[in-house]
Amino acid sequence: MVQFDEVLGNENFLPEMNPLEAQRQIDQLKHFGLKDIGTSKWMKQREVVNMLNIQAHQNAALNQDEYIAQGIISSQKVEVLIKELITVEIWKNKVTPLIKEELTSASKQSIKPYLIYYHEATLVNLLECVMYHKDAIIYCEESILIELVDYCQRKFNVLIHNKKLQERHDQKDILKLSDEEIWQDQIREIEFNCCMYSLTIFRFITDNLKEISPSVVHRILEKHDSPIALVYIIENSPFKKKEKSGFKKYNGNIWETVSFDEYLKVTQYEAQVWLAINNLLVDPETRNKYEYTTFRRETVIGLKKYLTDVLIDQIPVLVDLLRNVENLQIMNLPVVSKNILMVEAVAEFSEAILNGTDFEKIAQEHLLTICNTEDDEARREEIMSMAKMFGNMLDLMGENADYEQLKL
């Protein structure tokens, strides 16, 4: 079983791409269809996106000129990245179940299946950096922003309903694990990372509720009922876990064993959830649009036990959320619906793929392009690509940088 933990952007690398080279690569970014996933051109762009992601996070962490993020925004490539994200997610959900055994078998000899899965995490991680900038959100086409909101909500649902997402086999037992067990551990790790990054992206979207389309706000509040989903995530606390080895927190893409006192402190992704809830339930832009039912009120009131002095000391803006939650306890529910007629927006891009694609045909084609480990030319190309990437990484390794800073 091939194993490789590729860079997500929080590793210790020095800059590689100068602004001119970065912009040249950004200008060439394009959207590939489902059938193109795993082809040589797709894999080359995957490498570019990975390096852009590394550089973007370094720029942000070191408070340098964020020319990667700004270049992506000014070149109108945010929508390309979102389309690529949705496409690879659909591939993962619709195509891979049809060739699951073949992918697992291919992963013993080739890293390509893993890299395709990993590309989703790279794209979300890059968008996590780019969407910090207000212009990336307010100038994003409405239908594409809806795709991103829907994607985040799907990841929320995974965090809420997939209780085994945090489970991993002990690395001490790696030699005892089957190829299938190793493969599933890797897939769960990638999925969990995607879920975490989506929390940050969603928080950035809620930071700009006054600037985005009313139909997007309506989708967040009514179609998805995102405030309730976020409450469930706080209750489940997927960013923390207790194991025989001690208390663990998810920070900077890794699980760290911490003391009990440290365990009580807010993690960076937990903070993003709280800030998103605060934006949705306290900001006047949405507070007056969110119609409380008995269920919604009781669920939100359940937050009160988590809004402790310790939490508010770490995130002071939550004092207003606590006040709102306390007011809910004495509030009379509205008798008449406040909802106004709203034409529901549609996720046109993903709907077109889902309704217009022969997934069986795509799966059979990918048996040859992705799962075929006997193609000598493809193997040579993959080896050369990996050698180049490892060479770049060795050239880039430098002093340790602090990547745990959180943009609040």
Beta bridge partners of 103: none
Among residues 202, 223, 205, 214, the alpha carbon closest in space to that of 288 is found at: 214
CA angle 274-276-279, nearest 5°? 110
Q: What is the predicted pLDDT for the residue at 287? A: 86
User: Is the pLDDT assigned to residue 338 strictly greater than 70?
Assistant: no
Structure tokens at 311: 């939490």
DSSP per-residue string spanning 15-44: ----HHHHHHHHHT-----GGGTTSHHHHH
| pTM score above 0.85 | yes
Per-chain mean pLDDT for the chain: 86
Continuous segment of H or E residues that includes residue 246: strand 246-251
Structure tokens at 297: 């009120």
User: Is the pLDDT assigned to residue 355 strictly greater than 80?
Assistant: yes
pLDDT tens-digit map of 258-308 = 998 888 899 999 999 999 999 999 988 788 889 999 999 999 999 999 999
Q: How many residues make up the chain in this entry?
A: 408
Question: Helix 40-61 to helix 67-74 angle, to the nearest 10 degrees?
Answer: 130
Please, are residues 172 and 160 in contact by the beta-carbon 8 Å criterion?
Answer: no
* Domains of the chain by residue range: 1-213+346-401, 225-344
Beta bridge partners of 248: 241, 257
Strands, sheet with 240-243, edge to edge from the N-terminal-most edge strand: 240-243, 246-251, 254-258
User: Is the pLDDT assigned to residue 408 strictly greater than 80?
Assistant: no
